[in-house]
A and B are shown apart, each in its own frame.
Chain A
Amino acid sequence: MINLELPSSEEKIRGLKIGDEVHIFGTMITARDAAHKYLIEEQPDYIRPYLENSLIYHCGPVVKKSNGAWSFVAAGPTTSIREEPYEGTVIQNYNVRGVIGKGGMGDKTLAALNEHGAVYLHAIGGLASLLAQSVKEVKDVFMLEEFGVPEAMWVIEVEDFPAVVTMDPHKNSIHTKIKSESTEQANRLIHPVV
């Protein structure tokens, strides 16, 4: 088990490899579909400090507001591949050290991880109540009115947030390996040799 403190250095991230289990501590920001489009098209400067050397979490949480303060009630990862057209450029432009999501991403992102020293961390899909407990504080929220609760960019402080490295800065992806093995087996089942 590796503790990953945010903000993180590029050197520390380059030391990670697929299969590593990490626990994340520090401040990160959620961003999903609408936010990625926004980061590319509008290039807002005010958001840079939240992304610099930190992580983007692909998550659309269930939230609660009591006594004027937001908290996360359920907060598992959402499918990452939808951000494939944007992610490499976002990592480069905002100096992000990686993303947390589920399902893995494609070749373009894998290349960006290698080039810029970033990592893909897989959180467990549907682990929403448990992961919400790792979110100790909601520090801020951006674009809430425009994007709605799931798509807004939530700045959160996490502690002991569990994830697995499934794509590393050395061009390795667990997803590619599993897919090629399962496809071999699927082909044996679909096209049996008679």
Chain B
Amino acid sequence: MATAIDERALEEQVYDLIVRASTDLPEDVVRAMKEARSHEKDGTSAKNVFGMLLQNVDLAREAKTPICQDTGTNIYHVHYPAGTSTLQLRKVIKRATERATKDSILRPNAVDPITGKNSGNNLGTENPFFHFEEWEDDALEIKLMLKGGGCENVSGQYKLPDSSLDAGRDLNGVYKTIIDAVNNAQGLGCAPGIIGAGVGGDRATSHLTAKKQLFRKLDDDNPDAELAKMEKRLYKDLNSLGIGPMGFGGKTTVLGVKLGTAHRVPASYFVSIAYMCWAYRRHSLTLKNGEVIYD
């Protein structure tokens, strides 16, 4: 049985969620960066870059200022219990977004593509972006990711087979597209990146599947044994490319690889690659029995 939403309380909670997302890099990401730093040689640019990035992470958390000025597309994936009004959720999240923009937690990032006019408050068509799914749990879960434009620009979609890559319609073909995408990205997506890939689907659901993978924890295991094995292989091989942090060269090109699938029509085989920058800003809030838990 769903309980009614306390709009005022939820607006505060979503505001807190936005502050966390923008200013507080999740622990699993910080751990992965520290681990990666330990693998880089002393005196190299790669090692120095990690040092400065981690210093910036600490500073942003203490000062409550954005880790990166590009606070990106605000991507909300929401799971809600039966009876919840998603219209109401949209309204509340939009209000919190407007406030966070005014308080310099978010940069005004919604630009009309025809007039070039920035809306100034982060509200606009498909901004913020919402993906709602009802679930059987009686909890409300709001997940937020801030995905910057630099890494979105190096994301992409392949259609298999691809003869230039000798990539067929199988997991080995998927492997080749991901190697190619990360090599093409070089440092432009603010490496080291995190790769979410969606295999199958139509063009839109393929991208959605890729983005969904980015909400997983870096240290989780894919429940599908074959995908889990491929994630590990890709992680190792992508880090052999030598692109390194910021593309300056080094042993760390990616911090993680996450694969997901969606059924496709017989004629199509898409692989979508969502490249996330090292400033992997994602947090969630769960409301259950009147209690709020942030992650």
Contacts and interface: CB of A to CB of B under 8 A. Distances in A.
**Do A and B interact with each other, yes or no?**
yes
B241 A186 contact: yes
A186 B237 CA distance: 9
B150 A103 contact: yes
Interface string B69-109: 11100000000000000000000000000000000101111
A74 B69 contact: yes
Interface in A15-37: 19, 34
A76 B69 contact: yes
A151 interface: yes
Interface stretch (A39-47, A84-92, A118-126): A118-126
A127 interface: yes
A51 B115 CA distance: 28
Q: Tell me the dominant secondary structure on chain A's binding face.
A: mixed
Interface string B101-121: 000101111010000111010
Contact of A128 (B66, B179, B244, B246): B66
Interface residues of A, number: 48
* Majority secondary structure, B binding face: loop
A162 B48 CA distance: 11
A126 B246 CA distance: 10
Nearest to A174: B248
Contact of B150 (A59, A78, A124, A191): A78
Given A103-B150, A186-B241, A126 B278 contact: yes
B186 A175 contact: yes
A61 B108 CA distance: 10
A133 B69 CA distance: 13
A178 B53 contact: no
Contacts of A74: 60, 65-69, 104, 107
Contacts of A103: 150, 186-188, 247
Nearest to A37: B116
Contact of B190 (A125, A166, A174, A189): A125
A59 B66 CA distance: 14
A150 B67 contact: no
Interface string A149-189: 11100000000001010100000001100110111011001
Interface in B146-201: 149-150, 153, 165-167, 176, 179-180, 183, 186-188, 190
Interface of A: 19, 34, 59-64, 73-76, 78-79, 81, 102-104, 122, 124-130, 132-133, 147-151, 162, 164, 166, 174-175, 178-179, 181-183, 185-186, 189-191
11 contacts: A73-B66, A127-B56, A130-B52, A132-B69, A149-B107, A150-B118, A174-B247, A178-B186, A178-B249, A185-B240, A190-B165
